[in-house]
Amino acid sequence: MKRLCHVVTVSFVALTTLISSSLVFAQLTVFDPANYGQNVLTAARELQQINNQITSLQNQAQSLTNQAKNLASLPYTSLQQLQSSITRTQQLLVQAQRIAYDVQQIDRAFSTTYAAATSSQSGRELIANAQTRWQNSVAALQDAMRVQAGVVGNLETNRSEMSALVSSSQGATGALQATQAGNQLLSLQAQQLADLTAVVAAQGRAQSLDAAQRAAAQDQGREQLRRFLTEGGKCQSSTVRMFHQ
């Protein structure tokens, strides 16, 4: 009986050892190098895709940042200063004395004061017209000088505005700011051209009235000479009042 138990025990131990050896062998044969390599390669590819996605997101973020810069407005504007300069020049033109920049006034003056002298006009009328023409010429010269002085006064404003706009253009962070700075520089140039136009107009007005005065004076001189020659015997001495008296 004891021998039988010993045999059973030995058999059981042997069987247990055999089973354990089989399990260990089974566990060792589960590791597949080819499969492991494939898994590593797959993981590496997935990691690369993740890195690519991260890079793409970074590029998109940078693109959005650049777009935001391109859409950013220029923090400086010269509109108010330019409008003030133009307004000052316009006011000087509006303040033109006697004959304004108005077609109807000009036509009326040239049909009366600057019209050709006629035999129906009295000597007093001729003298009055001559005095009016002289006053118009002097007033036009004064107006021209006032406009010139106003434009010269705008030069300092234009200089400071140009400096500020050039600095803003050089420091622009995006396309919109650079474009706005360029547009404002063009506006400054337009304002300067407006000042130049005003000076030319005022100077031309003064020259035109002076030329008209000379032409009217020559015509009046011919009429007065004609009267003297035809009515010389009827002339009577009288006191003559000069323009400055």
Exposed, middle or buried: residue 136 (CB in 10 Å: 0-12, 13-18, 19+)?
buried
pLDDT band at 196 (very low <50, low <70, confident <90, very high): very high
Q: Which two tokens stand for residue 236?
A: 């009577």
Q: Please give the mean pLDDT across all residues of the chain.
A: 81
DSSP 8-state class, residue 116: P
Mean pLDDT of 4-33: 53
pLDDT tops 70 at residue 64: no
User: What is the predicted pLDDT for the residue at 7?
Assistant: 45
For residues 51 and 210, which has the higher predicted lDDT (pLDDT)?
210
Of 35-39, 117-121, 188-192, 219-223, the one with minimum mean pLDDT is: 35-39
pLDDT digits (tens, 9 = 90+) for 143-162: 999 999 999 999 998 888 88
Exposed, middle or buried: residue 42 (CB in 10 Å: 0-12, 13-18, 19+)?
exposed
User: What is the predicted pLDDT for the residue at 183?
Assistant: 85
**How far is residue 229's CA from residue 223's CA, in Å, rounded to a whole number?**
10
Mean pLDDT of 135-150: 95
Mean pLDDT of 190-210: 94
User: What is the predicted pLDDT for the residue at 25?
Assistant: 47
Of 10-19, 109-118, 173-182, 234-243, the one with minimum mean pLDDT is: 10-19
Of 132-136, 141-145, 157-161, 205-209, the one with minimum mean pLDDT is: 157-161
For residues 33 and 64, which has the higher predicted lDDT (pLDDT)?
33
User: What is the predicted pLDDT for the residue at 237?
Assistant: 57
pLDDT tops 90 at residue 167: no
Residue found by looking up tokens 């001189």 in the block: 221
Mean pLDDT of 131-144: 95
End-to-end distance of the chain based on CA atoms, in angstroms? 170
Quote the pTM value: 0.65
Q: Which two tokens stand for residue 53?
A: 């996605």
Of 12-21, 51-60, 167-176, the one with minimum mean pLDDT is: 12-21
Q: Where are the domains of the chain?
A: 79-232
Q: Which run of H or E residues covers position 175?
A: helix 175-230
Mean pLDDT of 219-232: 87
pLDDT tops 90 at residue 213: yes
Mean pLDDT of 91-103: 93
Mean pLDDT of 125-147: 95
For residues 205 and 72, which has the higher predicted lDDT (pLDDT)?
205
